[in-house]
Structure formats: C-alpha cells, structure tokens
A = this chain, B = another copy of it.
Amino acid sequence: MKQRALILFAHGARAASWAEPFERLRGLTQARLPDVDVSLAFLELMSPRLPERVDELAAAGATEIALVPVFLGQGGHVLRDLPLMVDALRLKYPHVRFSVATAVGEAPDVLNAMADYCVAAAAASAE
C-alpha cells in the first residue's frame, strides 16, 4: 500500500458523464505519480465523499494526504466547506499530515490553457 495519497476533490453532479474529465485528470496525474495513491472524492451527489475517501486511505495506512480542489472558482465550497471538512479530518486522524492546495482555477498555467482554448473557439466560430 502507498503511504502518500493525493485526492482530487471535485463538486459532483447528478449526471455520471459529468465526472469524465475528472477521471481523465486522475489518470493523467496517477501516471506521473506512480508512488502516490491518486483518487477522486466529491463534495456531494457522487461517491466517494471526501470524509469517506479519507477513512479508506487512513485505514489502508496513508500518513500523508494532499488535497487539490478541482474547482475553477473559489466560492463557498472551497473557502468554507472544504476547510471545515479538513479540520474535522485532522482531529479524527492526528497522525495523518494533510495539505490543501489552492483551487486549480487559480493556477496561471491552467488559466493560460483555458485562454488558448477560448481564443481557438472564437477563431473556429469565425470560419
């Protein structure tokens, strides 16, 4: 089992198709981090929820869990719900080291890639 884990934390939705890009992101990330357990966890509507996934990882012996919010905007879910959940998980698992990254939508390279895509979409529409 792997002591290091990375959880990609996403919102969740009713449509199963919603999760597809997140599954691809998980695959891309896992391929580059063979020594880390990379998984998805959700705020709502999809399984596993974040606390459930942390329970599984802690039971399997993870001692270091990095969380990346896969959200574009930093609203209430990232700024309020996630910190409250992580506080509770830190109390429950004092021997596990948790880290929480800023949301992916704040990363300059992600914004630049999205801008490239928007520029290409505008160009395609003009053809």
**Which residues does A use to contact B, with CB under 8 Å?**
4, 6, 8, 10-11, 13-15, 17-22, 24-25, 28-29, 32-33, 36, 38, 64, 66, 68, 70-76, 79, 97, 99, 101, 103-107, 109-119, 121-122, 124-126
Contact residues in B for A71 (Cβ distance below 8 Å): 72
Min CB distance A8 to B, Å, is 6
Across the interface, which residues of B come within 8 angstroms of A75, CB to CB? 13-15, 17-18
Copies in the complex: 2
Contact of A19 among B33, B73, B99 (CB under 8 A): B73
Query: Which residues in B have their C-beta under 8 angstroms from that of A104?
Result: 114, 117-118
Provide the residues of chain B in CB contact with A11, threshold 8 Å: 73
